[in-house]
Amino acid sequence: MKILVANLGSTSFKYRLFDMGDTEATLLAKGGFERVSEYTACIGEMLATLKADGHLASGDDLDAVGFKTVLGKDLSGCVEADDRVLAALDGFKEVAPAHNPAYAEGIRCFKEKLPAVTRVALFETAFFQWVDPAATVYAIPQSWRELGIRRYGFHGASHKFIAERSAELVGNDAVFERARGLYVDGPSDYSGDPLRVISCHLGGSSSVVGIRNGVAIGSSMGFSPQSGLPQNNRVGDLDSMAIPYVNKMLGLSMEEAERQLNKESGLLGLSGVSNDARDVREAAAEGNKDAQLAVDVLIDSIRHWAGSFYFKMGGAEVISFTAGIGENDANLRAKVCAGLEDLGVVIDPAANDATVRGKEGIISAPESKIKVCVIPANEELVIAREVYRFKQSH
């Protein structure tokens, strides 16, 4: 079964083509386009490339196209990307303006270009469908809650992969199977050995998630992808009273305040250097105090949320790092785990320094009670697997 995973940005289009089997997935091709203004032309060029390379005889050779949709109003899960999905994306386009319009347009373009090919949306919020209401409900008026304002959680495909791979690494087959079948079967009953994972997805956009026995118990992210940890140029968590105060003191409109919080904040706003963690880290190493502050704020926020989930789960067996910063920054990983020896975390400095992006590794020492891992992100594979299961069950 050939499944195409489409990753759509406001100005980019990336894809991966998988050949799916019951036990494994083979990556056949990948590619992408930047500075995209219209998706139909990109889809046509992609299909021409896949034909020329011998991967497809025609577009109809595709069994399905999977989309990593972010946030839908009154809709989540792994579902057919039909008019209901388009309405859900449109319903929250103001909440995820960089993501929802792009995916809605892309889905429409694929429908027009390849009408006979099944389209499946895997929402980033899907992994958090079973989080207890006490961890998702804001203390706001009911009329606000009825609008769908609550904690959702994002990076769901990444954290689900961590749930599965962590279980494999510690040899817990029962949790692996529970995590793998989550979107089809829901959280099945479990009474085996516990597996509590603190999953740190750290990149241009970052989140920390607690995972108990393959199922998320909460996320640092909330109503929108702008919340939680400080992001590359997005603020993360902020007291709501800051906005009316800035409006009064600086004369900023609501729109301008929102723009600055989404475009000029986060690592960029703190460092004054860049929204790229590599540039910020380099500037900090050269003595830039603002850049060092940006690094320190990010580390403190990671520790804050990781500590919260450690407390909520009553401990942890695994701490996992993934995505660009999590996979690349050995110094940050060491500082996140510093001083936790009494909790059972002991980092192996040599293993930590040797583990770089794209390389999986155990960076904790053999005597560490909590296994600390670096697991390369593989969101596209998760989407392909879930689209395959969707096709099998429909």
The CA-CA-CA angle for residues 123, 126, 131, to 5°, reads 150
Residue 74 is inside which H or E element, if any?
A: none
Write out the two tokens for 192: 């085996």
Mode of pairing for the β-strands spanning 64-67 and 78-80:
unpaired
Contact 338, 352 (CB under 8 A): no
34 belongs to an annotated ligand binding site: no
Name the nearest CA neighbour of 118 among 169, 162, 76, 62: 62
Determine whether 287 is exposed, middle or buried from the number of CB atoms within 10 Å of its CB (0-12, 13-18, 19+).
exposed
Which residues does 40 contact at the CB level (< 8 Å), separation at least 6? 109, 112, 113
380 belongs to an annotated ligand binding site: no
Lookup result for tokens 């590619």: 31
Which residues does 283 contact at the CB level (< 8 Å), separation at least 6? 271, 273, 274, 291
Determine the residue type at 139. Answer: A
324 belongs to an annotated ligand binding site: yes
The DSSP-derived string for 348-375 is -HHHHHH--TT--EE-B-TT-SSEEEE-
Radius of gyration for the alpha carbons in the chain, expressed in angstroms and rounded:
21
Name the nearest CA neighbour of 131 among 203, 47, 219, 18: 219
111 belongs to an annotated ligand binding site: no
Give the whole-angstrom CA distance, residue 241 versus residue 261.
Answer: 14
Contact 374, 366 (CB under 8 A): no
Give the whole-angstrom CA distance, residue 370 versus residue 220.
Answer: 21
325 belongs to an annotated ligand binding site: yes
Mode of pairing for the β-strands spanning 64-67 and 2-8:
parallel
213 belongs to an annotated ligand binding site: no
Neighbours of 351 (CB within 10 A): 16
45 belongs to an annotated ligand binding site: no
276 belongs to an annotated ligand binding site: yes
Give the whole-angstrom CA distance, residue 3 versus residue 62.
Answer: 6
255 belongs to an annotated ligand binding site: no
Residue numbers belonging to the annotated binding site for Mg(2+): 7, 379
Residue numbers belonging to the annotated binding site for ATP: 14, 276-278, 324-328
Residue numbers belonging to the annotated binding site: 7, 14, 276-278, 324-328, 379
